């Protein structure tokens, strides 16, 4: 019977230890590899994932980057999944977390925008994060710092506890989806050797709406005219993100005003 996957590397290593744990089950008696630690391996994993993506990542490929054997890496992590989960939390450490402990805080709307923006930037910068967020519990120490900040900001909105859960899901699942699509689009453009604007204009020039759908898509075509007439993809995407976030915040404010 295959061994069941454990829930999280963080639930097993509850103390966040970075020291290696040799696996007696393999019956190895080799000496601990020198020059390695879990932190170095995790940093190398993030770098490799950024360069080559999740699909091409392997323990053998990582070991080659580190100049060691794959078995040496297993002194510090039990499985590839454990390592990916460690890399995910390492990336979350890049998030800029607003101060939620100060005596005088900006309004919750400002801090919510800051958290949404930094999360979007992280997803765009590391496209490999998106599938991992959906696959792991994401309860590492760096991720929890971000979650705590989100909860503290949402708690200041005036929503009930049940509404706060929904607000977190509404805002940050929206950001997750937006950042995921944006990050993958940028990655696709890089793979085909085009800028985002070149890719967009080339696609628009090649695509034609089926005649029977022309009336239905005429409004969509008018919405895209600004980009086609000298705008750029980044500006369009930033504007769309801000409008969508405005709608999220307006929805929260509406719920709060209804309670009052």
Average pLDDT over residues 218-229: 69
13 vs 91, which has greater pLDDT?
91
Enumerate residues 6+ apart whose C-beta is below 8 A from 67: none
- Distance between CA atoms of residues 42 and 46, nearest Å: 6
- Distance between CA atoms of residues 251 and 19, nearest Å: 47
Class of domain 9-92: mainly alpha
Whether pLDDT at 19 is above 50: no
Choice among 6-10, 112-116, 144-148, 193-197 with the minimum mean pLDDT: 6-10
Query: With contact defined as beta carbons under 8 Å apart, do 124 and 234 qualify?
Result: no
Q: What angle do CA 10, 14, 20 make, to 5 degrees?
A: 80
For the record, the structure tokens of 41 come out as 């391996």
Q: Residues of the chain with pLDDT > 90: what percent?
A: 68
Whether pLDDT at 71 is above 50: yes
> For position 32, what pLDDT does the model report?
56
Average pLDDT, the chain: 87
- pLDDT confidence band for 228 (50 / 70 / 90): low
For residue range 182-204, list pLDDT tens digits in order: 999 999 999 999 999 999 888 88
Query: With contact defined as beta carbons under 8 Å apart, do 126 and 50 qualify?
Result: yes
* Secondary structure of residue 35 in the 3-state scheme: coil
Choice among 10-24, 61-75, 154-168, 244-258 with the minimum mean pLDDT: 10-24
- Distance between CA atoms of residues 151 and 168, nearest Å: 8
What's the fold here for domain 108-259?
Answer: Tetracycline Repressor; domain 2 (1.10.357)
In the block, tokens 């990050």 appear at: 183
For residue range 20-42, list pLDDT tens digits in order: 344 444 444 345 556 799 999 99
Whether pLDDT at 219 is above 90: no
Domain boundaries, the chain: 9-92, 108-259
Q: Residues of the chain with pLDDT > 70: what percent?
A: 87
> For position 118, what pLDDT does the model report?
98
Measured in Å, how far apart are the chain's first and last C-alpha atoms? 57
Average pLDDT over residues 90-112: 94
């Amino acid at each position: 019977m295959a061994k069941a996957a454990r829930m999280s590397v963080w639930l097993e290593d509850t103390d966040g230890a970075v020291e290696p744990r040799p696996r007696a089950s393999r019956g190895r008696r080799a000496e601990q590899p020198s020059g390695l630690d879990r932190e170095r391996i995790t940093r190398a994993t993030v770098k490799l994932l950024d360069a080559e993506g999740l699909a091409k990542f392997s323990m053998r490929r990582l070991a080659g980057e580190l100049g060691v054997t794959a078995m040496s890496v297993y002194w510090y992590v039990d499985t590839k999944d454990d390592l990916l989960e460690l890399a995910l939390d390492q990336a979350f450490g890049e998030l800029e977390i607003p101060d939620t402990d100060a005596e005088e805080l900006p309004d919750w709307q400002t801090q919510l925008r800051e958290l949404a923006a930094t999360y979007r930037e992280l997803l765009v910068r590391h496209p490999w994060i998106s599938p991992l967020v959906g696959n792991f519990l994401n309860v590492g120490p760096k991720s929890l710092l971000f979650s705590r900040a989100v909860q503290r900001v949402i708690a200041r909105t005036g929503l009930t506890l049940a509404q706060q859960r929904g607000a977190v899901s509404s805002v940050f699942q929206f950001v997750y989806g937006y950042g995921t699509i944006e990050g993958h689009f940028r990655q696709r453009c890089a793979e085909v050797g085009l800028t985002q604007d070149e890719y967009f204009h080339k696609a628009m020039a090649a695509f034609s709406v089926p005649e029977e759908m022309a009336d239905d898509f005429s409004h969509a075509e008018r919405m895209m005219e600004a980009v086609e007439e000298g705008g750029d993809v980044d500006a369009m995407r930033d504007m769309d993100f801000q409008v969508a976030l405005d709608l999220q915040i307006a929805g929260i404010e509406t719920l709060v005003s209804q309670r009052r």
